[in-house]
Amino acid sequence: MIYGLSVETILTGALVFLRISAILYALPFFGDEPIPAQVRVLIGVALAFGLQSRVPAGWITSIPTDMVPFTILVVKEISIGLFVGFIGRLAFDGILMAASLVGYQMGFGTADLMYPGLNTQVSAFTAMHRGVMMLIFLTLNLHYIYLDGIIKTFELIPAGGAIPSKALMPLIIQTTSGIFRVALQLSAPVLVALIFANSALGLAARTVPQLNVFTMSFPVGFFVGMSIYIACLPFFPEWTTHHFALSQELIVKTIQGLAP
Per-residue pLDDT reduced to its tens digit, 86-116? 888 888 888 888 888 888 777 776 555 545 5
Rounded CA separation 63/54 (Å):
19
Task: Name, of 49-63, 181-195, 202-216, the range with top average pLDDT.
Answer: 181-195
Helix (H, G, I), strand (E, B) or coil at 112: strand
Give me the pLDDT at residue 114, please. 46
The residue-averaged pLDDT of 12-37 equals: 82
Mean pLDDT to the nearest integer, 128-139? 88
Task: Measure the CA–CA gap between 16 and 140, rounded to whole angstroms.
Answer: 27
pLDDT 10s digits, 155-182: 888 887 888 888 888 888 888 888 888 8
d(CA 150, CA 46): 13
Average pLDDT over residues 64-70: 81
Return the pLDDT at 241. Answer: 92
Tell me the whole-structure pTM to 2 decimals: 0.80
Determine the average pLDDT of the residues in 41-60.
Answer: 84
CA 201 vs. chain centroid, Å, equals 37
Q: Which residue has the higher pLDDT, 206 or 247?
A: 247
Best-predicted range by mean pLDDT among 12-26, 32-46, 62-76? 12-26
End-to-end CA distance of the chain: 33
Q: Is the pLDDT of residue 65 over 80?
A: no
Q: What pLDDT is recorded for position 119? A: 56
Q: Helix %, strand %, coil % for the chain, to 5?
A: 75, 5, 20
> What percent of the chain shows pLDDT beyond 70?
92
Rounded Cα–Cα distance for residues 34 and 225 (Å): 29
Summary mean pLDDT of the chain: 83
Give the pLDDT of residue 59.
Answer: 82
Distance CA 235, CA 241 (A): 10
- How far is the C-alpha of 107 from the C-alpha of 110, rounded, in Å? 6
Candidates 142, 43, 132; CA nearest to 91 is 142
pLDDT tens-place string over residues 218-240: 788 888 888 999 999 999 999 99
